[in-house]
Structures are given as C-alpha cells and as structure tokens.
Amino acid sequence: MDSTTAERRYRAFLAAAQLRFPWQFRTRGQSDDQEGVQVDVPPGWYGVLERLFHDVEAVMPAAEREGFRWRRLCARHAMLEVAFDGLRDPVSPRVVEARERAAVTCDVCGHPGARREVAGRYAVSCTRHFIQRLLQCHPEGESGARLWWGTPQPVLGGRSPAAYMEADPPTETLIEQALRLAMPPVPRLDAPNRERLQAAWPVLDEALGERLRSLRVAAFDPRSGRGGTLIAMLAGDADPSAQAAAVTRLARNGFSDLRLRLVGQSDLASPAAAADPWACMLALEASIDIPRATPDQSVLVR
Ligand SMILES: [Zn+2]
C-alpha cells in the first residue's frame, strides 16, 4: 500500500468512526487541555478500534455520554495506548480487551499475529507480514530480497520461497530461512570492548541467578552509536518477568546502550516457534560469546 492510499484509508476510517459515534469524539470548549483526539494506529488495528467504539457505545449510559471523549488512541512499541475522559467503570474493561486484541492482531492486515522484534523494532505481525519485515533487512536490499524470494532452494524442497509460501500456512522452515537472511553481521570485539562487556556478567548473575548459562553479544558496533544486543542464555525457558529487573540493573551499571534479550536454551531447537525468534536466531547465527572474566594472570606468565 503506497502512502497516499494509506492516508486515504486512515481518513476514511476516522471519518466513519466520527460519523457513527459522534459523542465519543466531541471536543468541548476551547481551553488548552481540550485538543483534538489523537489517533495514530496502523491499518491492521482499525477493526480493533471499531469494535472498541461499538462496545463503549453499548455499555455507556446515555446520561454519561456528555462527559466522555477519547483523548488518545495510539500504537506505541507495537502496543495499543488508550486515554479517555469520562466514566471509567464501564469503559476500562473494554479498553483492556481492545489492548489484548491488538496484541494478537497483525497491524498490517488484521489477521492473527504476535508481537515480534525485527532489528530492534517491534510490531504485531502475522506470519506473512513477519516474513515481509524480515525481507526488508536483506543485506542486498529490495532487489536481493526479490531475487531470494523467486529462487528455488534445496532446504525448501527445491521450491522458491514464493512457491513455498503458497502452502498455507507458511511453515517454520521458511520463517527460519528469512530470519537467517536478515541477521546482522557477527560482531568483532576488540580487547577494551570485550573487557567492558565482561563486566555485565556479575550484574546479570545477580539479576538472573544460576539459570544464566552464557552471554552473547550481537549487532554490536560502538562506532555506529547504536549500541548492541546483549543475549542472556538461560537454562530451560526464558522467563519474561526476569527481564525488567535485569534491564534496570544493567542501566544502573552503565550498560544502558545495550538491549537485553533473554533466550531459553530450549528455544534454540526451533527459533521460528520461539517467543522471540529474532533474539533466538541472533544467538544461533549472528552473535559471539562473552566469556566470564578470568583473573588476570599476565603477571604470572612472564
Ligand atoms: Zn498480516
């Protein structure tokens, strides 16, 4: 979809919603805090919002409509953010439902999807659009991606990815191939950087405990100023609840330039099916090990 078509579709969606549920979009008065409703969601989520408007109309008593209005309906880090004025009780549970629905709705096409990273950016994607996002990272750009898409490959049974995709649904093999293709180069570490990253070991030991098995770094190029991805490999499954505490500790210890990803060793067997396929493939194909620091023995080996 080109940008003009997307813009037209967005305007049509918004106009239809305002026409159908005018009371939800009313702006009252002219004071500073009465700006227009801020709406910024991808097309795949229009259906989620339409249902929310509908549900709110169904639960809101007529007498309370006067005090209600949406303030903000936006996608942020691939999550739906909603703010509104008015009666909380009947509306908040509907908002929670809408957020949950958005979290599993492809933001391009509206089909079932999952929130996944590609190169540091998150989006909720169905399998097809996840593969499309991965192809946008092809090292040889659009023409490289197009060539790959049409070329038969032994690992796909001699079919091209395009032909393979026709098999519905696309299988993990195809996702894995696309993931592999999109991986950044394996970083090289000079001695000062290696030493600096080794200092993350005790920080994460404390945050993650004995489940921490190894540390790897990917997409690390200090000259680019973009930081890198630190991958903590854990025994068993990755536990998302450990993430926040570990991120905080890293930031407090001067590692806020690194994105932390937790990967369970059990995920490595099939990255395409893992909760975080991008980090999983980084761990397998595009990262290097950060060894634990050993006591400096240079004074002894003279
Ligand atoms: Zn999709």
Sequence spans of domains, the chain: 3-102, 129-182, 191-289
**Assigned fold of 191-289:** Alpha-Beta Plaits (3.30.70)
Q: Give me ligand 1 centre to Cα 18, in Å.
A: 26
Q: Give me ligand 1 centre to Cα 112, in Å.
A: 7
CA distance 291 to 125: 35
Please state whether beta strands 38-40 and 69-76 pair in parallel, antiparallel, or not at all (unpaired): parallel
Q: Give me ligand 1 centre to Cα 105, in Å.
A: 8
Q: Give me ligand 1 centre to Cα 72, in Å.
A: 24
Q: Give me ligand 1 centre to Cα 168, in Å.
A: 14
Q: Give me ligand 1 centre to Cα 11, in Å.
A: 21
Q: If pLDDT is split at 50, 70 and 90, which confidence band does 37 have?
A: confident
H helix intervals, 103-190? 127-135, 141-150, 161-166, 172-182
Question: What is the structure's pLDDT at 35?
Answer: 64
Q: If pLDDT is split at 50, 70 and 90, which confidence band does 225 have?
A: confident
CA distance 291 to 286: 16
Average pLDDT estimate for 38-55: 96
Q: Give me ligand 1 centre to Cα 41, in Å.
A: 15
Q: Give me ligand 1 centre to Cα 78, in Å.
A: 14
Portion of the chain with pLDDT greater than 90, in percent: 75
Average pLDDT estimate for 55-75: 93
Tell me the pLDDT of the chain averaged across its residues.
90
pLDDT tens digits, one per residue of 125-169? 999 999 999 999 998 999 999 999 999 999 888 999 998 888 766
Average pLDDT estimate for 198-202: 96
CA distance 213 to 229: 17
Token duo for residue 273? 């099916």
CA distance 14 to 270: 41
Q: Give me ligand 1 centre to Cα 151, in Å.
A: 23
pLDDT tens digits, one per residue of 236-261? 877 778 888 899 999 999 999 999 99
